[in-house]
Amino acid sequence: MSQTFAAHDLLFKMMISEAEIQERVKEMGAELTARYMDKNPLFVGVLNGAFIFTADLMRACNLACEVDFVRISSYAGLQSTGQIDLIMELKTSIKARHLIIVEDIIDTGRTLHHFIAQLKKQEPASIAIATLLLKPEALEYPLDIDFIGFDIPNKFVIGYGLDYDEQGRHLNAIYQLVEAE
């Protein structure tokens, strides 16, 4: 894998390698398997960013489970817009289901904070959050995060589903923005 990647006008350098991600995803899958055995959990992937992580995390689990996706938009370019739009809703009924919300990254926590409040109204049996990345310094909204892949510094990152204006999602590693000195 290349150590750097150029997306639009910006340069990114590798932060977390493909091997590190794959190892951590396997560990998380083992934890989920132990926790959700016989519960037939519903993975709820948050598009677009979590499409790769959702696919890998599910396949790292060894249990009966299902998957659905929502599409929430809150970001444009490098900045959170402060607005939450539920563009695509769940097709599955979630009443009395065990939900595992799968995110690529939690930044301010705004997106999931609002989304989870909406989900609770539909009375699921439980809601857990699994995120590949967390920026602890950026977190502003209260969230119970059950499964965290990696804590990262407050840097803009791309790769493994994450994008900079739609570029970089296909990368197998996580890359961080190289800031001008």
Name the one range near ligand IMP by CB under 6 A: 1-9, 37-45, 52-60, 105-113: 105-113
Question: Of these partners, ligand IMP, Mg ion, none, which one is at the site of residue 176 (CB under 5 to 8 Å by kind)?
Answer: none
Q: How far is the CB of 99 from ligand IMP (least distance, A)?
A: 17
Which of 29, 49, 124, 159: binder of Mg ion (CB under 5 A)?
49
Whether the Cβ atoms of residue 152 and residue 134 lie closer than 8 Å to each other = yes
Both ends of the chain: CA-CA distance in Å? 26
Q: Judged by CB, which is closer to Mg ion: 2, or 154?
A: 154
Distance CA 56, CA 53 (A): 5
Copy the structure tokens of residue 103.
């995110």
Q: Candidates 16-24, 26-34, 92-100, 106-114: pick the segment binding ligand IMP (CB under 6 A).
A: 106-114
Is position 162 an interface residue for ligand IMP (rule: CB under 6 A)? yes
Q: Is the peptide bond before 62 cis (omega within 30 degrees of 0)?
A: no
- C-alpha 53/C-alpha 46 separation (Å) is 10
Residues near Mg ion (CB under 5 A): 49, 104
